[in-house]
Amino acid sequence: MEIINNAIIIFIFCSSYIYFNALTLLKPFMKEQHIRTLFNIWKIVEYVNYFGFHKKIEIKNYDKIITEKNKWGFIISNHKSVLDNIIIMIIMKDNKLHFTNLKTISRYSKKNMQNEVLKIYNMVLVKKNWNDDINYLNKMIYKWKNENRNQQIAMYPEGSILTEKTAATYNNLRNIHCGLFNYIVNKIINVKYIYDLTIIYKVNNRILIGEKDIFYNFLTNPEFKIIINFDKYEKKNISEDWLEKIWKKKDDFIMNYAA
């Protein structure tokens, strides 16, 4: 029964992802009443995803997000699975924030539809060319300010998902890229808080690494758990080497669950 329930959750998640992307791209060509109906259907599906994943999450620390309009947040997280994106959305929903309050910074995807949808919502897509990326980011920051709402910027400083082959300096984390993080902290005045999210997928005392291992155990193993730790820091206390120190602390936190 467990595998059926979890397979349904994954199916709903994948279907809603495709549905939402298609709906966003088709929106300019649709009548208003049809748009409302289809978005209501998508919201129902979103709630199924929310409660399906929520029951698997064990929270160790959870600082609330500040939602005042002029006090933006900057969410950073280790990156172990595409499921990480659902967890960030769960955190947004728990803090009564809409998905439009979320602005992501990520690399261009091989999926063109995904890239186009992210552009529609003023997300940042980087090419790993510093000058081009900074120019693009500055344009998006201007648009974010004009939206006149609380914004939560989310980024995975590791750049891509951890696999057993890519673990390097750390035991359970990829090496990090500090450039964009420090630029955002130093240049975006509206950012007041940094939220550090640590995500662990585990079965008993075994830390799961790799998308295949995580999804297989999510679908088949009743002992599968998601551990999250969510810490809040004031931007005024952030130094140039802060991210490196946090990643060492994060790695130690994860290691405690493998002991």
- End residue of a domain, out of 34, 55, 76: 55
Which two three-digit tokens encode residue 149? 């709402």
Q: In terms of domains, do 76 and 138 share one?
A: yes
**Domain that includes residue 157, residue range:** 60-256
Average pLDDT of adjacent 10-residue blocks, the chain of 259 residues: 46 48 51 51 50 71 86 95 87 87 87 74 87 94 92 93 73 89 93 96 90 86 90 92 94 82
Q: In terms of domains, do 20 and 70 share one?
A: no
Residues 6+ apart with CB under 8 A from 71: 150, 190, 192, 193
Q: In terms of domains, do 146 and 216 share one?
A: yes
User: Half-sphere exposure of residue 131, counting CA atoms within 13 Å on the CB side?
Assistant: 0
Please count the structural domains in the chain.
2
Yes or no: say if 152 and 97 are a contact pair by the CB < 8 Å rule: yes
HEC assignment per residue over 143-157: HHHHCCCCCEEEECC
Yes or no: say if 143 and 156 are a contact pair by the CB < 8 Å rule: no
Q: In terms of domains, do 79 and 38 share one?
A: no
Q: In terms of domains, do 212 and 155 share one?
A: yes
Q: In terms of domains, do 37 and 115 share one?
A: no
**Measured distance CA(212)–CA(230) in Å, rounded:** 25
Classify residue 79 as exposed, middle or buried by CB count within 10 Å of its CB (0-12, 13-18, 19+): buried
**Measured distance CA(160)–CA(174) in Å, rounded:** 8
Whole-number Cα distances in Å, 232 to 97, 192, 245: 17, 10, 15
Q: In terms of domains, do 32 and 50 share one?
A: yes
Q: How many helices (H) and strands (E) does the chain have?
A: 8, 8
Yes or no: say if 154 and 180 are a contact pair by the CB < 8 Å rule: no
Q: In terms of domains, do 165 and 203 share one?
A: yes
Q: What is the pLDDT of residue 9?
A: 46
Q: In terms of domains, do 77 and 12 share one?
A: no
